[in-house]
Structure 1
C-alpha cells in the first residue's frame, strides 16, 4: 500500500467535505426535531384533550343523529302549523255558517210571528184575512197578506181578488184612493205590473186552503197614506176586510 492511500483524509478533499456536510445536516435535523417537540410541549394547553380517531368518528356520528332529529322535529312543527291553518279555516267556515243559520232563524221567527197573528177560523167555507203587514218602503208600500178558508171545501177552490184602498192626504184634503201593485210575489215568482189589466191579474186569488201574497203597492204622487184597507172580493161581493194604520 502506498503512502498516499494510508494517509488520513484531509479536510480539503471532496470526500471530507461530504462527510462534514452530512454531519452538519444530521445535526440540524436532530436539533429541529427536538425544538419542534419542545415547542409543542411548551405551547400546548395544560388542559388539552387528545382524542383518538375512533372517538372523533363517534362524535361525528352523534352530530349526524342530532341533525337528523332536529330535521324530524322541524318537520313535525311544520305539520302542526299546517294543521293549525286548516283548523283556523274550518273554524272561520263554521262561524260563517253559524251567522247564516242565525240570520235564517231570525227570518223564520219573523214568519212565525206573522202566522201567530192568525185569527180564529170563521164559518165553513168562509175566507178570512188571517194576517196583514203593510209598511212604507221608499216611495211605495210593502205588504204581506195571508188568506185562509175554514173547513173542508170538497176540492172547490176559491176564486176572487184582493183590493187595496188607502185613506190619506192629497193636496191638503183627506181622500181615499185605490192602490195598484208595483210588484207582486206569487208562487210562480214576482210579477212586474205595467198596466191596469196586469194589475188586476196580479191581485187575482185562487186557492183551496190558504194563500200568501206579498209585493209592493204604488202610491200616487203627492199622496200621503195614513190607513190601508185590504179587501177580499168574490166578484163584486166583499168576503173579508182588514184595515191597517200606517206608522209615520
Structure 2
C-alpha cells in the first residue's frame, strides 16, 4: 500500500499542484488600484491633449465669454427699459391725477356758475316790474321727478322800500289728468303760512298719485281773505 502511494506521487498520475504567491491580498488590491489610477491619469491626459489639439476647449471658453458679455448687455438693456417703463408709469399716474383734479375743478366751477346764475335770476326777480306793485309772486318753478314726485319752488317779494311785514298764506294747487280724467290737487298739508318783509323763497316736494299727469301749477298769496297775488305755470 505504501509503495502504491509513493509511486502515484512520483509518476505522471500524481495529483496537480498550485503555486500561490506569498503576497497578501491587501497589497495586491493596492497595486491594482495604483495601476488603474495610472491608466485613468493617462486617459485623462490624452483626452485633454486631444481637446487642445482640436481647439475645442479654446472655442468653448471664447463662446462662454461671449455669452457672458451678451447676458451682461441684456441685463443693462433690461434695466434701462425698466427705468423707462417706471418713468412712463409715474408720468401717466401724475397726468391721470392732474386730469382728475381738473375735472373736479371744472365740476366745481360749473356748480358755482349755476349757483351764480340762480342768484342772478333771484335778484333780477327782486326788481319790481312796476312802481305800483305792492306784493308779487316771482320765480314759480315746478319739475316732475321720477314720475310720481313733483318739486316746486316759488319766490314772493314786496318790491317796495321799507315794506311793511306781510302776514298771510301761500296756496298751491296742481291740475292735469288722472287716468284720462280731469284732476286737481291742493298742496298737502294745506296753505303755507308766510311772514316776511322783503322777500321769501319757498320750496317743497309733492307725492303725485300714480298715472297723474300735471299740466298746470297755480299759486296764490292770500292776506286774510284778500287775494294779493296769483301766478300760474304751465308744464
TM score, norm. by length of structure 1: 0.50
Deviation of the 1:148 alpha carbon: 1.8
Retained in 2: the 8 A contact 1:166–1:228?
yes
Q: Which position in structure 2 is the counterpart of 1:152? A: 161
Q: Which has the larger radius of gyration?
A: 2
Of 117, 136, 141, 1:133 maps to: 141
Query: Does the CA-based 8 Å contact 1:162-1:204 persist in structure 2?
Result: yes
Q: Does the CA-based 8 Å contact 1:179-1:218 persist in structure 2?
A: no
**Structure 1 residues 205, 70: closer, same or farther in 2, change over 3 A?**
same
Shift of 1:238: 1.6
Q: Secondary structure at the match of 1:118?
A: helix
Q: Secondary structure at the match of 2:125?
A: coil
Q: Which residue of the partner structure matches residue 76 of structure 1?
A: 83
- Looking at secondary structure, tell me which structure has more helix per residue: 2
1:66-123 CA-partner distances (Å, limit 9, x unpaired): 6885686366346415514532540452365257347626854873696488385144
What are the equivalent positions in structure 2 for 1:214-229 lying under 5 Å apart? 214-217=203-206, 226-229=215-218
- Cα deviation 1:141-183 (Å, max 9, x = unaligned): 43211122213226x54322211244556899868x56123xx
Q: Give distance in 2, aligned partners of 1:178 and 1:64.
A: 86
Equivalent pairs, count? 187
Cα displacement (A) at 1:206: 2.2
What aligned pairs does 1:171-182 form with structure 2 within 5 A after superposition? 179-181=186-188
Give the TM-score normalised by structure 2. Answer: 0.53
Q: In the aligned structure 1, how far is the partner of 2:126 from the partner of 2:148?
A: 31
CA displacement at 1:235 relative to structure 2: 2.1
- Determine the C-alpha separation between the residues in 1 that align with 2:206 and 2:49: 115
Aligned to 1:211: 200
Work out the CA distance in 2 between the residues paired with 1:50 and 1:38: 16
Residues in 1 aligned to 2:117 and 2:150: alpha-carbon distance in whole angstroms:
19
Q: After the TM superposition, which of the residue ranges 128-137 and 142-151 deviates more from structure 2? A: 128-137
The answer for the alignment partner of 1:241 in structure 2 is 230
Q: Which has the higher contact order (CA 8 A, sep 6+)?
A: 1
List alignment gaps of at least 5 residues for structure 1: 1-31, 182-195
Once the two structures are superposed, the pairs formed by residues 56-71 of structure 1 within 5 Å of their partners are none
Across the aligned residues of Structure 1 and Structure 2, the Cα RMSD in angstroms comes to: 5.0
Q: Does 2:23 match 1:43? A: no
Q: Is the 8 A contact 2:172 2:218 kept in 1?
A: yes
